[in-house]
C-alpha cells in the first residue's frame, strides 16, 4: 500500500517496478492543501507555491525552476520532498549499493549528474529543488507523528540502513512551516533551460544576520553547506563544484550576506 | 517514350548505378520566383486533421481482435542464450502466441548489444504481453563486450574495410604550409526520438499480408518483406497514411514488422508491435559517436592547401559507416586531401541514418577546425570560406548542376556584421559572440517515381501516388505543384498517398529526396491531365490547342475566350481525365548538391558554463522553393534538432559494459521550447536549371548540418575557448574555458623574442 498525492513521482516509479503496490491510498481528502501565512499544506502544488507572494523567494524560485508546468500543476510539495534519486543505475534497477548491493556503480561508471558531497557509499544526487530551498529557509515539517526540521527529514544512507529519509512506515507529511527570511533566493544550473533536474541548485536565506545555504543535486540528500572545501568530487563531477562556487557567490551577493 | 538508362542513384550520399526506365522530362521549367501557387506560402492541407487528432497514425490503429506484442530484449551488451524457457509465457493470461530465437531472423540467441530482440509475446492486451515477457526465464552466458572505438580500430573490428581517399600530396602540402592546425573532435551518440515510435501492425487478408507501418519508404518495406517471407511483391500491401517522424531511422521494416507478421500468421489475428519510449531509446537506431583527428594547412594569404583526417565511426553491432569525411573532401577547393574512415563494430546498439548521417558529425569537426585556422591566420572566417570556394566538384571534376553558395555567403553578411553589436552586449560573466559554418550535402533525388492525376467532371483534382508524408509537408507541396500546373486553386486539389495498393511507386523519403523525386512526377502527371483538358476544349470550342491554357480555374484562349474548368470537364459526366507522370533522369555528368551557411549568436556565462543560443540565421540554396512556409518549418525543425545535438542530447552508456543508461526523456535531453533560439530562414530560391522540370532540391537535411559548428565557433568568438566535443555540456564548456585561460597565461608568461 502506498500513499498517492500528485502521482508525478509514484506513477513512474511503479511503471519501472521500483515501487510495487497492490493498493494506492488517495491523500487529497486527508492532507491539507493551501497557504496560510508561514504554513503550507503538504498537498499544495508547486504551481500554487511559485506564484504566491507570501512564499519566500527561494521557495518560489525553486518551484518555478522545477520540472514542467504540467508536472508542477500535479506535484505536491510534500511529495516533492520524498523524491527518489535520478541516478540511472538506481532507476534501471542495477544491483547498486543503494539497492542493497555491494558498491555504488556510478562512482566507477557514468556519473556526470552525481554527487560531490556525502558520496562515500553512494554517489546519487538528490533531485529536489524545493528541498534545498526549505533547508536554507530553516523550514519545519509537521507529520502525522511529530514535528521536525526539514533538514532532519533526510539522512545519509549507511551500510545498515540505506534509506535517505527518516519517515516511519505510514508516517505522512501534513504541513510545512516556512519562516519568512529577510532575503532569500534559489539559483539553478541545469542542462537545458527548463524541465531538467538540477546539476547544482543553490538556495540562500538570510535571517537575523545569519545566512544559511543549501544545495540540491550535489549529494544523496539536500545538502546544508558549511564549506565547499569539504567536497569530495568524482572525476566526472568536479565541474559541479566550479558551478557551485559561482552560484554560491551570486546567491550570497543577492541576499546581501 | 519509355527509355532504359543507366543512372546514378544517390541516397544519403551512397551512390549506386542502376538501370531504370525513365520517361523523357519534356516540360520546360517554370520561370523563377513565386508563381500563382508554387512559391507562395501554403498552410498544411492536412494541418487541421493532424492538430485535431483526426489523422490516424500507425500507432493509433486498432483492428477487431488485434493482439499486442511485447519484446524480450537483451539486457547485456554481448551474451549467449544458454537456455530459454518460453513455457511460462505461453501459459500466461491472455497470451496467444510466442516467438523465440530463430522463429524469425530478427530474434537472436546471440545478442550483440543491449536491446537486441530475443523473444516476443502476443497477447490480448499490452499489459498482458509485458507481464508474459517478464515470466520468460533466460540463462545467459556473458561475454566480454567491445565498446571502445579506438580499441576496435586496433583490433581491426570493422563492419567494412577502412575507406581511404586521397588527392594531391598531403604530407608535402603540410610541410610547405605557412600555418598548420591540428585538433581532435568527438561527437556523441544521438537518438532520433521520433514522436511516433517505431512499429507496425500486420494482418493477413487471404494470402495477402497487410503491413501498416510508420515508415519513410512504403515500397522498400514492401520489397524487403516480400523477399524475407518469400511472397510475390503484390501480395504485400504497405500502408502509412500519417507518420510521426523518422529522420532516417524508419527506412526499413525492422523487427516489428517481421515479428508482427509471423504472429499474425500463427494467430490469425491483426498483431501490433510497437516500441515504447524506453525501447525507442535503446534500439531504434542512432547517430553514432565519432572521433575525428584532423589537420589543416594554409598559406599565409588564407589559401587552404592541406586537409587531413582520421575518422573513427563507432557504428555499433550493425549499421553503416556514414561518410563523416565527406565535408572534408567536398566543401573546399583544397588540392591536397587525405582521409581515412573506420567503421567500427562494437557491442552497442546499431546506428541508423539520422538526418544527414556523417555530414552532421564531419561538418562539426571540419568547420570548427577551419575557424581555428582562421584565428591562427588572423583571417575573417567568412573571408576564409569565400577564398576557398570550390567552383566544381573536386571528387571527380564534375561541374555542379547549380551552386549558389557565394550568394549564400553574400546574404549572410548582414547577419555576420551583427557580431560587433553582439560582442558589445557582453556584460558581467555573460560573453557574447557570433560564429558561422557552411553546409554541403546531397538532395537531388532521382528516378524512378510516379504519380497519377485524376480530374473529375466537377473540375476537382486528385493526385494519387503511393508515397509517404513523413511529417515534412509533402502532401501540401505536391498539391501546390498540381494546382499550379492545372491552374486551379489549391483547395481544389486532394493528395491520396500512403498505400502501395492504391497508387504507383514513389521514392523513399530520405536523403532530402522527396520533393526533388516526387515533385517532377506530380507536375508531369498534372501536365498530362492539362494537355487532355486542352484537347477536349479545343474540340468543343473549335480552337487550336496552342492558343489554350489553364488559368485561375478556367480554360483560357489567347483569342479572348474563357470557360470555367467545370464547364469543360463537365462534358465528361461520369468520365474522368487521367494523367500520368514520371520522374525524369538526373543531369548526366553533373554533381547535384545543396549548399548553405548558418550564422549563430551565443551568450556564454563563463563562470557557470551556461550557453544560450540566442539567434541562428540560416541561408540555404536548394533550388526552387515550393512552399516558403513549409520550407521555413524544415529550417526551424533542423536547427532545433541541431541545438539539441550541439548542447544537450547524448546517450550515456556505462563505460565498462556499454549498457545505455539514458532511456527516458528526462535523462536523454532534447531541447525544450525555452531552448529554441530566434531562427531566421532565408532561401536563394533559384531553380537548378539542369535538374528536372522543377529545379527543386531537397531541404530535409541541410539545415541540421552546420548548426553545431556555427554554435561552437560563436562560443570561440565570445570566449576564446575551443570546444572539442559534443554535446557542449557545462563540463566541456568549463574545460575549454580553463584551457583557454591556461593558454593565454602561457602566452603572457612566454618571453618575447
Q: Please report the pLDDT score of residue B26 as a whole number.
A: 84
Given a cut of 80, whether residue B7 has pLDDT beyond it is no
- Confidence band of B1 (pLDDT split at 50, 70, 90): low
Report the CATH number at residue A196.
Answer: 3.30.465.10
**Is there a contact between A239 and B669 if contact means CB atoms under 8 Å apart?**
no
By the CB < 8 Å criterion, does A189 face chain B? yes
**Is there a contact between A110 and B647 if contact means CB atoms under 8 Å apart?**
no
Q: Please report the pLDDT score of residue B274 as a whole number.
A: 98
By the CB < 8 Å criterion, does A93 face chain B? no
ipTM for the predicted complex: 0.97
Question: Residues B441, B359: contact at Cβ < 8 Å?
Answer: yes
**Closest partner CB to B729 (pick from A89, A191, A197):** A191
DSSP summary character for residue A226: S
**Is there a contact between A191 and B672 if contact means CB atoms under 8 Å apart?**
no
Q: Please report the pLDDT score of residue B753 as a whole number.
A: 53
Q: Please report the pLDDT score of residue B13 as a whole number.
A: 67
The CATH architecture annotation of domain B2-57+445-582 reads 2-Layer Sandwich (3.30)
pLDDT tens readout for residues B395-454: 988 999 999 999 999 999 999 999 999 999 999 999 999 999 999 999 999 999 999 999
**Is there a contact between B608 and A86 if contact means CB atoms under 8 Å apart?**
no
Question: For residue A246, which residues of chain B lie inside 8 Å, CB to CB?
Answer: 429, 607-608
Given a cut of 80, whether residue B23 has pLDDT beyond it is no
Rounded Cα gap, residues B452 and B578, in angstroms? 7
Question: For residue B739, which residues of chain A lie inside 8 Å, CB to CB?
Answer: none
- Confidence band of B5 (pLDDT split at 50, 70, 90): confident
**Closest partner CB to B674 (pick from A86, A194, A247):** A194
**Candidate from B10-19, B211-220, B428-437 with smallest mean pLDDT:** B10-19
Query: Which three three-digit cell numbers place residue B112?
Result: 550483440
Mean pLDDT over B484-499 rounds to: 98
Residues 6+ apart with CB under 8 A from A26: A4
Q: Please report the pLDDT score of residue B339 as a whole number.
A: 98
Only one residue has cell 540511472, namely A88
Q: What angle do CA A247, A251, A254 make, to 5 degrees?
A: 140
The DSSP bridge partners found for residue B272 are B68, B201
**Closest partner CB to A239 (pick from B612, B674, B731):** B731
Q: Which residue of A has its CA nearest to B651?
A: A110
Q: How many CB atoms lie within 10 A of CB B300?
A: 11
Question: For residue B655, which residues of chain A lie inside 8 Å, CB to CB?
Answer: 109-110
By the CB < 8 Å criterion, does A15 face chain B? no
Q: Which residue of A has its CA nearest to B428?
A: A250
The top-level CATH class assigned to B289-444+589-749 is: alpha beta
Mean pLDDT over B1-20 rounds to: 73
pLDDT tens readout for residues B111-155: 999 999 999 999 999 999 999 999 999 999 999 999 999 999 999
**Is there a contact between B661 and A112 if contact means CB atoms under 8 Å apart?**
no
Given this chain, do its domains B2-57+445-582 and B61-143+194-280 carry the same CATH topology? Answer: yes
**Which residue spans within A54-144 are E strands per DSSP?**
140-143
- Confidence band of A96 (pLDDT split at 50, 70, 90): very high
Q: What angle do CA B469, B472, B478 make, to 5 degrees?
A: 60
**Is there a contact between B655 and A243 if contact means CB atoms under 8 Å apart?**
no
Query: Which three three-digit cell numbers place residue B483?
Result: 494546382
Q: Which residue of B has its CA nearest to A243?
A: B608
By the CB < 8 Å criterion, does A236 face chain B? yes
**Closest partner CB to B652 (pick from A110, A242, A243):** A110
Mean pLDDT over A76-94 rounds to: 98
Give the predicted TM-score (pTM) of the model: 0.97
Q: Please report the pLDDT score of residue B125 as a whole number.
A: 98
By the CB < 8 Å criterion, does B656 face chain A? yes
By the CB < 8 Å criterion, does B428 face chain A? no
By the CB < 8 Å criterion, does B429 face chain A? yes
Rounded Cα gap, residues B13 and A236, in angstroms? 37
The DSSP bridge partners found for residue A143 are A173
- Confidence band of B19 (pLDDT split at 50, 70, 90): confident
Given a cut of 90, whether residue B61 has pLDDT beyond it is yes
By the CB < 8 Å criterion, does B127 face chain A? no
Q: Please report the pLDDT score of residue B3 as a whole number.
A: 75
Identify whether A214 is part of a domain. yes
Rounded Cα gap, residues B615 and A164, in angstroms? 43
Question: Residues B326, B358: contact at Cβ < 8 Å?
Answer: yes
B465: closest CA among B219, B139, B714?
B219
Mean pLDDT over the full length of chain A? 97
Q: Please report the pLDDT score of residue B62 as a whole number.
A: 97
Task: Spell out the domain ranges in chain B.
Answer: 2-57+445-582, 61-143+194-280, 289-444+589-749
Q: Which residue of A has its CA nearest to B735?
A: A239
How many separate domains does chain A show?
1
Number of Cα atoms under 13 Å in the Cβ half of residue B280:
21
Mean pLDDT over B204-216 rounds to: 98
Identify whether A26 is part of a domain. no
Question: Residues B565, B553: contact at Cβ < 8 Å?
Answer: yes
By the CB < 8 Å criterion, does A110 face chain B? yes
**Is there a contact between B661 and A89 if contact means CB atoms under 8 Å apart?**
yes
Q: Which domain holds residue A207?
A: 31-255
Rounded Cα gap, residues B395 and B119, in angstroms? 46
- Confidence band of B677 (pLDDT split at 50, 70, 90): very high
pLDDT tens readout for residues B508-523: 999 999 999 999 999 9
Identify whether A140 is part of a domain. yes
Number of Cα atoms under 13 Å in the Cβ half of residue A58:
35
Question: For residue A235, which residues of chain B lie inside 8 Å, CB to CB?
Answer: none
Question: For residue A66, which residues of chain B lie inside 8 Å, CB to CB?
Answer: none
Residue among A239, A249, A251 with most chain B CBs within 10 A, to mutate = A239
**Closest partner CB to B669 (pick from A109, A196, A247):** A196
Question: For residue A92, which residues of chain B lie inside 8 Å, CB to CB?
Answer: 661, 663
**Is there a contact between B730 and A193 if contact means CB atoms under 8 Å apart?**
no
Q: Which residue of A has its CA nearest to B733?
A: A239
**Is there a contact between B671 and A189 if contact means CB atoms under 8 Å apart?**
no
For residue A243, the distance in angstroms to the closest alpha carbon of chain B comes to 5
Q: Is the peptide bond before A176 cis (omega within 30 degrees of 0)?
A: no
pLDDT tens readout for residues A182-236: 999 999 999 999 999 999 999 999 999 899 999 999 999 999 999 999 999 999 9
In our burial notation (b when 16+ CB lie closer than 10 A, e otherwise), range B736-752 reads: bbeebeeeeeeeeeeee
Question: For residue A199, which residues of chain B lie inside 8 Å, CB to CB?
Answer: 730
For residue B278, the distance in angstroms to the closest alpha carbon of chain A comes to 10
Q: Please report the pLDDT score of residue B21 as a whole number.
A: 76
By the CB < 8 Å criterion, does A86 face chain B? yes
By the CB < 8 Å criterion, does A196 face chain B? yes
**Is there a contact between A112 and B729 if contact means CB atoms under 8 Å apart?**
yes
The DSSP bridge partners found for residue B440 are B595
Q: Please report the pLDDT score of residue B137 as a whole number.
A: 95
Residues 6+ apart with CB under 8 A from A60: A49, A50, A51, A52
**Is there a contact between A108 and B656 if contact means CB atoms under 8 Å apart?**
yes
- Cα–Cα separations (whole angstroms), residue B588 to B4, B400, B550, B692: 14, 11, 33, 12
**Is there a contact between A247 and B608 if contact means CB atoms under 8 Å apart?**
yes
CA-based Rg of chain B, rounded to a whole angstrom?
27
pLDDT tens readout for residues B253-263: 999 999 999 99
Fold for domain B61-143+194-280? Aldehyde Oxidoreductase; domain 4 (3.30.365)
Q: Which residue of A has its CA nearest to B734?
A: A239
Given a cut of 80, whether residue B22 has pLDDT beyond it is no
Q: Please report the pLDDT score of residue B396 as a whole number.
A: 87
Identify whether A71 is part of a domain. yes
Q: Which residue of A has its CA nearest to B731?
A: A239
pLDDT tens readout for residues B149-198: 999 999 999 999 999 999 999 999 999 999 999 999 999 999 999 999 99
Cβ–Cβ pairs < 8 A, chains A and B: 70
**Is there a contact between A92 and B674 if contact means CB atoms under 8 Å apart?**
no
**Closest partner CB to A194 (pick from B429, B654, B672):** B672
Amino acid at each position: 500500500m502506498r500513499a498517492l498525492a500528485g502521482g508525478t513521482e509514484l506513477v513512474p516509479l511503479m511503471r519501472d517496478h521500483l515501487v510495487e503496490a497492490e493498493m494506492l491510498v488517495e491523500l487529497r481528502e486527508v492532507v491539507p492543501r493551501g497557504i496560510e501565512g508561514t504554513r503550507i499544506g503538504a498537498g499544495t502544488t508547486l504551481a500554487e507555491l511559485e506564484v504566491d507572494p507570501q512564499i519566500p523567494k527561494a521557495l518560489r524560485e525553486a518551484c518555478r525552476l522545477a520540472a514542467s508546468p504540467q508536472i508542477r500543476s500535479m506535484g505536491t510539495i510534500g511529495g516533492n520532498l520524498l523524491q527518489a534519486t535520478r541516478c540511472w543505475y538506481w532507476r534501471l534497477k542495477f544491483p547498486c549499493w543503494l539497492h542493497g548491493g555491494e558498491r555504488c556503480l556510478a562512482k566507477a561508471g557514468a556519473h556526470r549528474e552525481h554527487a560531490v558531497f556525502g558520496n562515500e557509499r553512494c554517489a546519487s544526487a538528490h533531485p529536489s529543488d524545493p528541498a534545498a530551498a526549505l533547508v536554507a529557509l530553516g523550514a519545519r515539517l509537521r507529520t502525522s507523528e511529530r514535528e521536525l526540521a526539514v533538514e532532519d527529514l533526510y539522512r545519509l544512507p549507511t551500510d545498515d540502513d540505506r534509506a535517505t529519509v527518516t519517515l516511519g512506515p505510514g508516517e505522512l507529511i501534513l504541513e510545512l512551516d516556512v519562516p519568512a527570511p529577510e532575503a532569500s533566493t534559489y539559483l539553478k544550473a541545469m542542462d537545458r533551460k527548463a524541465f531538467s533536474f538540477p546539476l547544482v541548485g543553490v538556495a540562500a536565506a538570510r535571517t537575523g544576520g545569519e545566512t544559511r545555504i543549501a544545495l540540491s543535486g550535489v549529494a544523496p540528500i539536500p545538502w546544508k553547506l558549511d564549506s565547499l572545501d569539504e567536497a569530495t568530487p568524482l572525476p566526472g563531477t568536479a565541474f559541479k563544484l566550479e558551478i557551485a562556487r559561482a552560484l554560491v557567490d551570486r546567491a550570497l551577493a543577492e541576499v546581501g550576506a | 517514350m519509355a527509355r532504359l538508362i543507366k543512372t546514378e542513384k544517390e541516397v544519403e550520399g551512397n551512390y549506386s548505378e542502376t538501370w531504370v526506365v525513365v520517361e523523357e522530362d519534356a516540360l520546360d521549367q517554370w520561370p523563377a520566383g513565386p508563381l500563382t501557387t508554387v512559391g507562395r506560402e501554403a498552410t498544411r492541407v492536412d494541418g487541421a486533421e493532424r492538430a485535431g487528432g483526426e489523422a490516424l497514425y500507425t500507432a493509433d490503429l486498432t483492428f477487431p481482435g488485434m493482439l499486442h506484442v511485447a519484446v524480450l530484449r537483451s539486457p547485456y551488451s554481448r551474451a549467449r542464450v544458454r537456455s530459454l524457457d518460453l513455457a511460462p509465457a505461453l501459459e500466461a493470461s491472455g497470451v496467444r502466441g510466442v516467438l523465440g530465437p530463430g522463429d524469425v531472423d530478427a530474434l537472436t540467441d546471440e545478442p550483440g548489444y543491449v536491446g537486441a530482440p530475443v523473444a516476443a509475446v502476443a497477447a490480448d492486451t499490452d499489459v498482458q504481453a509485458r507481464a508474459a515477457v517478464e515470466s520468460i526465464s533466460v540463462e545467459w552466458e556473458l561475454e566480454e563486450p567491445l565498446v571502445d572505438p579506438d580499441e576496435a580500430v586496433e583490433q581491426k573490428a570493422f563492419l567494412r574495410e577502412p575507406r581511404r581517399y586521397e588527392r594531391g600530396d598531403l604530407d608535402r602540402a603540410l610541410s610547405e604550409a605557412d600555418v598548420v592546425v591540428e585538433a581532435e573532435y568527438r561527437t556523441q551518440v544521438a537518438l532520433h526520438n521520433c514522436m511516433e515510435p517505431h512499429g507496425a501492425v500486420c494482418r493477413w487478408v487471404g494470402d495477402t499480408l497487410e503491413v501498416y507501418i510508420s515508415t519513410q519508404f512504403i515500397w522498400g518495406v514492401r520489397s524487403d518483406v516480400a523477399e524475407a517471407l518469400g511472397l510475390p511483391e503484390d501480395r504485400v500491401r504497405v500502408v502509412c497514411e500519417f507518420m510521426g517522424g523518422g529522420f532516417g531511422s524508419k527506412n526499413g521494416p525492422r523487427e516489428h514488422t517481421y515479428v508482427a507478421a509471423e504472429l499474425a500468421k500463427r494467430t490469425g489475428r491483426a498483431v501490433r508491435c510497437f516500441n515504447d519510449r524506453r525501447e525507442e531509446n535503446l534500439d531504434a537506431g542512432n547517430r553514432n559517436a565519432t572521433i575525428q583527428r584532423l589537420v589543416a594547412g594554409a598559406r599565409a594569404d588564407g589559401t587552404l592547401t592541406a586537409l587531413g583526417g582520421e575518422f573513427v565511426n563507432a557504428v555499433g553491432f550493425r549499421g553503416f559507416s556514414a561518410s563523416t569525411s565527406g565535408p572534408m573532401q567536398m566543401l573546399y577547393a583544397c588540392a591536397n586531401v587525405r582521409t581515412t574512415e573506420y567503421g567500427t563494430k562494437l557491442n552497442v546498439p546499431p546506428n541508423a541514418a539520422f538526418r544527414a548521417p556523417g555530414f552532421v558529425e564531419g561538418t562539426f569537426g571540419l568547420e570548427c577546425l577551419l575557424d581555428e585556422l582562421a584565428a591562427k591566420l588572423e583571417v575573417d572566417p567568412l573571408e576564409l570560406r569565400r577564398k576557398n570556394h570550390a567552383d566544381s566538384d573536386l571528387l571527380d571534376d564534375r561541374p555542379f548542376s547549380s551552386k549558389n553558395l557565394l550568394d549564400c555567403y553574400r546574404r549572410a553578411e548582414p547577419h555576420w556584421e551583427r557580431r560587433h553589436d553582439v560582442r558589445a552586449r557582453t556584460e558581467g560573466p555573460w560573453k557574447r559572440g557570433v560564429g558561422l559554418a557552411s553546409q554541403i550535402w546531397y538532395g537531388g533525388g532521382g528516378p524512378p517515381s510516379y504519380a497519377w492525376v485524376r480530374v473529375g467532371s466537377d473540375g476537382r483534382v486528385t493526385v494519387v501516388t503511393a508515397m509517404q508524408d513523413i511529417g515534412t509537408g509533402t502532401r501540401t507541396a505536391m498539391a501546390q505543384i498540381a494546382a499550379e500546373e492545372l491552374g486551379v486553386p489549391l483547395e481544389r486539389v486532394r493528395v491520396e498517398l500512403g498505400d502501395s495498393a492504391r497508387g504507383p511507386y514513389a521514392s523513399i523519403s530520405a536523403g532530402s529526396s522527396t520533393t526533388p523525386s516526387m515533385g517532377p512526377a506530380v507536375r508531369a502527371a498534372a501536365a498530362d491531365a492539362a494537355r487532355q483538358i486542352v484537347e477536349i476544349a479545343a474540340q468543343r470550342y473549335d480552337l487550336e490547342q496552342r492558343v489554350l491554357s489553364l488559368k485561375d480555374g478556367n480554360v483560357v484562349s489567347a483569342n479572348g475566350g474563357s470557360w470555367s474548368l467545370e464547364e469543360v470537364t463537365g462534358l465528361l459526366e461520369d468520365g474522368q481525365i487521367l494523367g500520368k507522370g514520371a520522374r525524369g533522369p538526373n543531369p548526366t555528368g553533373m554533381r547535384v548538391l545543396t549548399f548553405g551557411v548558418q550564422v549563430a549568436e551565443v551568450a556564454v556565462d563563463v563562470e557557470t558554463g551556461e550557453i544560450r543560443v540566442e539567434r541562428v540565421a540560416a541561408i540555404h540554396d536548394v533550388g526552387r522553393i515550393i512552399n516558403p512556409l513549409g520550407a521555413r518549418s524544415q529550417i526551424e525543425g533542423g536547427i532545433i534538432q541541431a541545438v539539441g545535438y550541439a548542447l544537450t542530447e547524448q546517450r550515456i552508456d556505462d563505460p565498462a559494459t556499454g549498457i545505455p543508461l539514458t532511456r527516458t526523456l528526462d535523462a536523454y535531453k532534447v531541447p525544450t521550447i525555452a531552448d529554441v533560439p530566434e531562427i531566421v530562414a532565408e532561401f536563394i530560391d533559384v531553380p537548378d536549371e539542369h535538374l528536372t522540370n522543377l529545379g527543386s532540391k531537397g531541404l530535409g537535411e541541410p539545415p541540421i548540418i552546420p548548426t553545431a559548428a556555427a554554435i561552437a565557433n560563436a562560443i570561440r568568438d565570445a570566449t576564446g575557448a575551443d570546444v572539442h566535443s559534443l554535446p557542449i555540456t557545462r563540463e566541456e564548456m568549463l574545460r575549454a574555458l580553463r584551457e583557454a585561460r591556461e593558454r593565454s597565461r602561457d602566452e603572457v608568461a612566454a618571453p618575447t623574442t
